[in-house]
Structure 1
Amino acid sequence: MGMQVNTNIAANNAYRNLATTQNDLSKSLEKLSSGLRINRAADDAAGLAISEGLKSQVGGLTVASRNAQDAISVIQTAEGSLNEVTSILQRMRDLAVQAGNDSNSDDSRAAITTEVGALRDELTRISESTNFNGRQLLDGSEPTLSFQIGANDEASSRISVDMSKADLTSVVDNLDFTASAGKNTATALIDYGQKLQFSQDGATVTVDATVATNDVELATLLNQDASFAQNFSASTNDAGSLVVSSNTNSTAAITVMQNTSTTPLVFDADVSGTPGTITMGFGSASAAKESIEAIDLEIKYISTARAELGANQNRFESVIKNLAVSRENLTAAGSRIRDTDMAEEMVKYTRANILSQAGTAMLAQANQSNQGVLQLLR
């Protein structure tokens, strides 16, 4: 190759290699200083898309975990009030048992009635004042609360908590000791092995009675159903027929349907439509007896509501544990894609740094190589 002045091929080659080395060195410095392998889409377009998706998932799971913790707080607030409600109902029951003794004077019964009235007023206050962040919990205005416990917009990312059974207004209404109350009782010929529907005053309950083979089994099966037990109670009479009674003060007729039939079952003519009138209170032993029965039903009602809230709290605690594991695994997955392997990158940086120094020295040498032309011009 001849000696040239205008074009220094060696210098251009050294400069090109030095520019490439400097670019690699700059990228290594950026990755080492930021700790990220992907600082821009050009570093790894596919990896960036995946890591951003994982980042969204991790952020969503973090918030979902806080939502689940808030749900536990809501449940604890409601259950804490219901715990006191149970104590009040237990005290009411004790007073009803005390009133069932005819050794009480009129003044004693009046004192019992006064205390029960104050306790009933406290139940009303608790139902109206128990709230979480302004959301009423025990007055029936919020029958269902929905909590977002997942990072995505899908049904499995939400849990609904039934608060209808924690409605204290119905408890207060059912414990009106100042007036007579009617309870409707009806019997019917049941065709076993079918689904039964019980209705009264718009309240409808459907129970699968396919496993019952006689009235006694059917009565037990019905009473074990929480929805049925909330509104009705089942027993058998001396004739062995099923007897369904209302747990409320309603005197409306009880309608019983089988499967999808549009015709109610035929009631026993002797008892159908004949409500038995009871008087709750503390003025007599018989009234106190009815009060004990009514209070027992409400204690059972509240206990069922508390049990469901407790089960939901345990569920949310499991949700939080599962979210923590998912968040940890997704964070690790994102880290493997996006974070810099510092040891590996230091190897690349050291190599680029040495090549940069060598390239600079060689570029200087290449720039001096054409100095030999001056010797020819002398």
Structure 2
Amino acid sequence: MRINHNIAALNTYSRLSAANFMQSKSLEKLSSGMRINRAGDDAAGLAISEKMRGQIRGLEQASRNAQDGISLIQTAEGALNETQAILQRMRELAVQAASDTNTSDDRAAIQKEIDQLVDEIDRIANTTEFNTKKLLTGEIGLSTDDSQNITNLSMKSTTKAGTITFTADATLAKKATGQLTVAAGATQVATSDELIITVNGKTYNIGTTAGQSYEDLAKQITNTVDGLVATWDASANQIKFETELANADQTFTVAEKTAGSLDGATDFTAGTATNDIDTSVSRNGSDGTNASGLATAGEATFSYYGNTVTVTGGTGGFEGLTFTLQADEGSTTTATVSGSKIYISNQLTMQIGANEGQEMSININAMDSTNLNVSNLDVSTTTGASSAITKIDSALQTVSSERAKLGAYQNRLEHTINNLGTASENLTASESRIRDVDMAKEMMEFTKNNILQQAATAMLAQANQMPSGVLQLLR
């Protein structure tokens, strides 16, 4: 028998220490609710869990970013709603002023109200803000440093801000033109009839009245037919026609319903060029890829249709960028734009994902009276009022298009929020399975360790009594 080393007590103490340690770990897990409280608990699990936590918090913040974006869009769209209401009132006033039942004083009063409404459109455009950012002044729109040769700049939401340099050497499309020559000395319509005009596949029946002047007929055609402008040239005895657009196939035909009704002699039929009327006019309507000088190694490539150029590839992040190259009106020569730079500037970029590059761009065009082309409406005459109606209709269409674009942005962001919420939920569940403790299972471990601790304590007491047997030998 030995008394210097109580091996049984040492062994029991070791087991008691282990039970105490395991019980302490179980208590820590049960009190924190976490299976991993320090790296030593599960080194690999901790690394995976922390990566997931970064993703989860990023997704939650991205969702808040998207909600802020919706708030911004709703602010802009709400302002445009009022702008549209103002334009509707202005159109109502223009229609009222177009009637000759009004006196000059009446039209002057109408003009005063229209002027005030125009000022209010400008005030709305200049003061609509979100978090001090002006929304309707064009500051978050698109711009180019070569406005003389580049117009109609547009983009997709995936187009990134930056600069793109290109050299264009392509023959540009021209407006389709034609003319109707009437008998020498004729100034007015001879017989009531109809002109049948087809522009880009859409047909219009223009009623003519005996005694109607050719100048008034030209104005009637311009105001009625979309995409075609008619003017009366008395010196040449011609009604001249010109399409509004030059960046696509532009065709038109003109025919009298009854031959000779305009001046009793002129006869022209759709599909022919009688009396110098070009009844099927088309300029540069074909499309193509990589026009001469447009593609540069390492830069974006282009496709073109008429005057419209579209970015179709490249490494610059400009996919979806489109613009129109302009030439001097009536030019028959090749227009060249050399080394121009397009800046997609100040557009709003919103981070709608947890990682780099997961973003969305928003641009809102200027919505003031100048950009809507209603800044100088004059309803003091019937002609001016009629012209104002057309201008206001165009402004209404512009605002409607901008509101539709904002609505599309908002709908996309709402789906983005739903997707972010689902991703965050699933990642949280995955992170929970790694990091969180199973309380029921851990309670089993705690109970087991508690019993082992009590048993080890009792056995240590017994083991400590074993050397006392030596006293019997000393009696």
- Structure 1 residue 121 and structure 2 residue 105: aligned? no
Post-superposition Cα deviations, 1:206-253, rounded to whole Å, max 9, x if no partner, equal: xxxxxxxx972599xx98xxxxx9999967353344599xxxxxxxxx
State how 1:162-241 maps to structure 2 within 5 Å: 186-187=175-176, 216-217=200-201, 236=252, 238=254, 239-241=278-280
Unaligned runs of 5+ in 2: 143-156, 161-173, 179-197, 204-225, 228-243, 255-277, 294-304, 307-328, 332-375
Distance 1:261 1:188, change over 3 A: farther
The aligned residue for residue 165 of structure 1 is none
Q: 2:55 aligns with which of 50, 54, 57?
A: 57
User: Displacement, 1:142?
Assistant: 1.3
Post-superposition Cα deviations, 1:179-215, rounded to whole Å, max 9, x if no partner, equal: xxxxxx93269xxxxxxxxxxxxxxxxxxxxxxxx97
The aligned residue for residue 292 of structure 1 is 389
The aligned residue for residue 104 of structure 2 is 106
Post-superposition Cα deviations, 1:68-116, rounded to whole Å, max 9, x if no partner, equal: 1111100100000000011111111111111111111110111111111
Q: 1:5 aligns with which of 3, 6, 21?
A: 3
- Structure 1 residue 374 and structure 2 residue 471: aligned? yes
Distance 1:64 1:116, change over 3 A: same
The aligned residue for residue 204 of structure 1 is none
Partners of 2:158 and 2:80 in 1: CA distance: 19
State how 1:78-157 maps to structure 2 within 5 Å: 78-143=76-141
Partners of 1:161 and 1:136 in 2: CA distance: 22
- Structure 1 residue 272 and structure 2 residue 311: aligned? no
Distance 1:375 1:30, change over 3 A: same
Residues 37 and 340, structure 1, Cα contact 8 Å, conserved in 2: yes
Partners of 1:136 and 1:161 in 2: CA distance: 22
TM score, norm. by length of structure 2 = 0.56
Q: 1:315 aligns with which of 412, 417, 422?
A: 412
Distance 1:160 1:107, change over 3 A: farther
Distance 1:364 1:231, change over 3 A: farther
Partners of 2:436 and 2:430 in 1: CA distance: 10
The amino acid across from 1:79 in the alignment is: E
Partners of 1:240 and 1:306 in 2: CA distance: 38
Distance 1:257 1:297, change over 3 A: farther
User: Displacement, 1:272?
Assistant: 3.3
The aligned residue for residue 439 of structure 2 is 342
The amino acid across from 1:365 in the alignment is: Q
Partners of 1:54 and 1:307 in 2: CA distance: 37
Distance 1:242 1:38, change over 3 A: farther
Which has a greater percent of strand?
2
Q: 1:282 aligns with which of 376, 379, 394?
A: 379
Residues 97 and 289, structure 1, Cα contact 8 Å, conserved in 2: yes
Residues 230 and 301, structure 1, Cα contact 8 Å, conserved in 2: no
Distance 1:322 1:368, change over 3 A: same
Aligned residues between the structures: 289
Distance 1:188 1:10, change over 3 A: farther
Residues 72 and 313, structure 1, Cα contact 8 Å, conserved in 2: yes
The amino acid across from 1:23 in the alignment is: F
Residues 216 and 242, structure 1, Cα contact 8 Å, conserved in 2: no
Distance 1:316 1:242, change over 3 A: farther
Q: 1:303 aligns with which of 388, 400, 419?
A: 400
Q: 1:41 aligns with which of 36, 39, 42?
A: 39
Partners of 2:247 and 2:91 in 1: CA distance: 21
SS at match of 2:175: strand
Partners of 2:394 and 2:437 in 1: CA distance: 65
Partners of 1:261 and 1:295 in 2: CA distance: 40
Post-superposition Cα deviations, 1:333-368, rounded to whole Å, max 9, x if no partner, equal: 111111111110111011100110110111111111
Partners of 1:48 and 1:79 in 2: CA distance: 46
Partners of 1:65 and 1:27 in 2: CA distance: 37
Distance 1:89 1:232, change over 3 A: farther
SS at match of 1:186: coil
- Structure 1 residue 358 and structure 2 residue 455: aligned? yes
Distance 1:295 1:111, change over 3 A: same
Partners of 1:47 and 1:257 in 2: CA distance: 61
Distance 1:70 1:186, change over 3 A: same
The aligned residue for residue 235 of structure 2 is none
Distance 1:77 1:160, change over 3 A: farther
Which has a greater percent of helix?
1
Partners of 1:215 and 1:82 in 2: CA distance: 32
Residues 281 and 288, structure 1, Cα contact 8 Å, conserved in 2: yes
Post-superposition Cα deviations, 1:238-284, rounded to whole Å, max 9, x if no partner, equal: 3344599xxxxxxxxxx99964268x98xxxxx937xxxxx952121
The amino acid across from 1:344 in the alignment is: K
User: Displacement, 1:143?
Assistant: 1.4
Partners of 1:293 and 1:237 in 2: CA distance: 23
Partners of 2:104 and 2:60 in 1: CA distance: 63
Partners of 1:314 and 1:59 in 2: CA distance: 23
Partners of 1:232 and 1:120 in 2: CA distance: 31
Partners of 1:315 and 1:161 in 2: CA distance: 16
Residues 176 and 246, structure 2, Cα contact 8 Å, conserved in 1: no
Residues 176 and 251, structure 2, Cα contact 8 Å, conserved in 1: no
User: Displacement, 1:374?
Assistant: 1.1
